[in-house]
A and B are shown apart, each in its own frame.
Chain A
Amino acid sequence: MRYALIVIPLLLLPVLLNDFWLTQVMTRALILGIVALSLSFLAKYLGVVSFAQAAMAGAGGYTIAYFGPNSVNIGIELPFWISIPLALFLATAFGGLIGCVARRSRGIYAIMITLAIGIAFFYFTRQNYALFNGWTGFSGVRAPLIGGISLRAPVPLYFMSLLSAVVSMMLVSGFARSPMGLAIQAVRDAPGRVMALGISVSTPIIAAFAFSGLLAGTGGILNVWYQERISSFSVGFGPIIDILIIAVIGGLRYPSGAFIGAIVFVMLDTFAVDLVDRERFNTLIGTVLLLIVIFAPNGLQQLVMDGAAKLRRAKQPTN
C-alpha cells in the first residue's frame, strides 16, 4: 500500500512529462540511483564504502558495447538475449573478484583498495585498444529492438529503468533477510563471533560484493543504452565521485535514499548552469551538497522521514 503511493505516480509520469524530463532527468536519475544503490547496499549491510562501483557498472556496460551493435567495428555482435545475461554475469563475477581482493580490509583500507581497483580499471580501459578501444571507447551502441520498438525510445527506456529500479530494491530487501544476507550483517557487526560459530567470513563478503556487482552491472547496461556510448571517461574519477555523492546525499544507511540522492544530483547537474553564471555553476552544486551534508547528516531520506513523522504527530488529536 505504502509502495503503491510511490510507484503509481511514477507509472503515470510518461503522460505528464515531455521527453526531456522523462529521459534526461527521470531515467538518468533511476539509472544513477541503481548504481548508487549498489554502493549503499555495501555500506549499510557490509559496512564497507566501495569506490569500485563505477568499475563494476563499467564491466556490464563494456560487455554490452563489445557484444552489441556499435560503430567502431570492435567486438562480436551477439543477440541481446545472450549479451545481457553475459553482461550481468561478468559484472557479478567482477564484483566477486573485487570482494575477493578487498575481503580482509575494513574502513579506510577498504576505501583505498577499492579506489585503487577503480582507478586501475579506468587506466586499463584507457590504454587497452583490443577490448576497450582505449581513450575513444565505443560509440553508436544501440539498445535492442523488441517487436520493432527500440528500448532507447524515451518511454520504453523509462519503464525498463523503473522496472530495474523496483526489482533492485526488492532484491536488496529480500537478499538482506536471506540467510546469506544475515551472515553479511553478522560479519559487519562481529566478524570474530561469526568465525567462532564456524562460518567463513570471506564467503559472505565476496557474496555481498558479487551482489553489488549485479546491481551496478544492471545500472551499467542501462547507462550504455541511455548514453549510446561508453568510454574510459564513463568509469573515471568523475563518475566514481558522482556515485559516492549520490549515495551520501540520499543517505548511506537507506537503500531507497540512493534514488532521492540521484534525483537531486541530476537536477543540480542539469540546471545549475541556468541558475547562476556559467563560470560559477560548480560553486552552486558544491554549496548545495555541503548544505545537505551539514543539515541532513544522515541524508535526504532521513530528512524526509523525520518530516513525515512530525506531520503524523501534528495530525494526532491533542486532547
Chain B
Amino acid sequence: MNKLKLAVSILALSAASASAEDIKIGLISILEGNFAVSGTDAIRGAELAILDVEGSVDGNKIEMVSMSSDGSPDTAVAAARKLIEQDGVDIILGPLSGSEGLALRDLSKSYPNVTFINGSSAAQDTTLRQSSDNFFRFGGDGAQWMVGVGDYAFNDLGYKSVAVVAEDYSFPYTQVLGFMSEFCAAGGTVPEKFWTPIGNSDYSSVVYAIPQDVDAIFVALGGADAVNFLTQYDQAGGDKPIIGGSTTIDQSILESKGPFKKLLIGAPAGSPTVGDYDGAEWQAFVKAYTTNYPDAFSAPSIFAHHYYMAATAALLALDEVDGDLSNDHAAYREALTNLSFTVPTGGTMRLDANRNGIVDNFVTEVYEREDGTLGNRVIKVVRDVSQSLGQDPEAFLAMGPVSRDNPSCP
C-alpha cells in the first residue's frame, strides 16, 4: 500500500519537473464505520486510474487528497468544503453512498469553479431532478442497476406476482422502481411491499405477512439485514424463490453460514459489477487490481469499479483539454460531457443530457460450485442502459419521484 503510494508520488514528481501546474483531485470516500472496507476499496479504484496514466496528464502532475465521510450527508459536505477551501482541489471525486450524492449535488451549485464527479453514489435524483451543471456521474443509479431482472423474472422464470421486502429509504425505493418498471410492464403484479428500517433485526411480522399466493419475493436489503431476513424466513418454513437487489446478494452473504443459503440457489439479481465476469476488459482490470493490491479482494468491488470509472473519466477529459482548467473549467466540462470510453465491463460509457452515465448492467444468478460454495454467474449483459430505462424521458419524469407508494401495480 505505502510502496504503491511512494511509486505514484515518485512518478508524479519526475513528471512534474517537466512542466506545468499540479492538478488536485479531492477524493471523498467512507473510511470509518460499516462501509470502511468498501470505502477503502473505492480508493484503490481511483488509484488504479491514476496509475494508468502514471500520475500525470500532459505534464501536469495529478495530486490526490482524500477525505473521509462517515456515510452521512453532513460529513460528506464538510469533507468537500475542506477539500475545496483548504486544500484547493480542482476536482471532487465521490461520494460513495446515495444521500451523500444528493448533498454534494446541492453543494456543487455553491462552487461553480469546481467540477464534481460522482463516485459510486446511486440515488436517482442526483442527476434526474434538479441536476447541477458541474456535477457528473459516470455510472448508473439504483434503477439502472436492476435493468433486465424484471423482464427475466417474468419471461424466463415465469413469476407473475412478487412481494417486495426492502429497506425504507431512497436507494431501495430506486431499486424497486428499476425492478417494477419492467416487471409490471411485462404484466406482473406486486400486491404487497414491506418497508423495514435499516438495521432491523426482527422480521417476524414481515415473514408471516407475506401473501401465500405470490410466486417470489424481491428482497432489497443490504448486508446483515439480508442475512437476518433470509434466516428468519427460512426458519419460519418459507420456500418462495428470492430475487435480489444490487446489494443483497454479494459475496459476503454467499460466504456467510446458515441453511438459508439453499433459498438463494438460482436467485437472480441485478448488478453493474460482477467479480467473475469473463469479458476480456474485465479480466484485464481484475489482473491490474490483484497485481497492485495482493491483499485486497479477489476482484474489484462495485465501489472500486465505479471510482475507477469516475477517475478514468476525469483524467481522459483532462488529457483532451491538455490540463486546461481555465475559464471555470468550461473546456474541461465540455470534454467531460462529450466523453466516450470503454469501461471494464466492455461497454461504451457516455453521458446523457443530465450528465448521467449510459451504462452496462448484468443479470446474475446464484449457483452452487462443485465444492459446495455459492457464487454469482452472469445470465445476460444489458448494454446502453439509460437513466429513463429505455422509456421516453418525458414520460419517465412525469411518473414522479420514487417513494414507498410509487411505482405501484397491485
Q: Which residues on A are within 8 Å of B, measured CB to CB?
A: 18-20, 23-24, 71, 123, 126-127, 129, 134-137, 139-140, 227-229, 231, 233-234, 236, 238, 270, 273, 278-279, 281-282
Contacts and interface: CB of A to CB of B under 8 A. Distances in A.
B32 A282 contact: yes
B83 to A, nearest CB: 10
Contacts of B77: 227-229
Question: 5 tightest CB-CB pairs across the interface, nearest first?
Answer: A233-B72, A135-B169, A20-B85, A20-B86, A139-B106
Interface in B72-95: 72-74, 77-78, 81-82, 85-86
B67 A127 contact: no
Given A135-B169, A279-B31, A273 B73 contact: no
Given A20-B82, A123-B197, A139 B40 contact: no
A134 to B, nearest CB: 7
Interface string B91-110: 00000000100110011000
Nearest to A234: B74
Given A136-B102, A139-B103, A278 B85 contact: no
A139 B86 contact: no
A71 B73 contact: no
Interface string B366-406: 00000000000000000000000000000000000001100
Contacts of B72: 231, 233-234, 236, 238
Contacts of A278: 31, 43, 66, 68
A233 B74 contact: yes
Given A136-B102, A139-B102, A231-B72, 11 more contacts: A123-B197, A134-B168, A136-B99, A228-B77, A229-B103, A233-B72, A233-B74, A233-B99, A281-B31, A281-B68, A282-B32
Contacts of B404: 129
A290 B144 CA distance: 46
Nearest to B65: A274
Contact of B74 (A127, A229, A270): A229
A71 B106 contact: yes
Contacts of A19: 85
B176 to A, nearest CB: 15
A127 B73 contact: no
Given A137-B73, A139-B103, A126 B197 contact: yes
A119 B78 CA distance: 23
A158 to B, nearest CB: 14
B56 interface: no
Contacts of A137: 73, 99
B342 interface: no
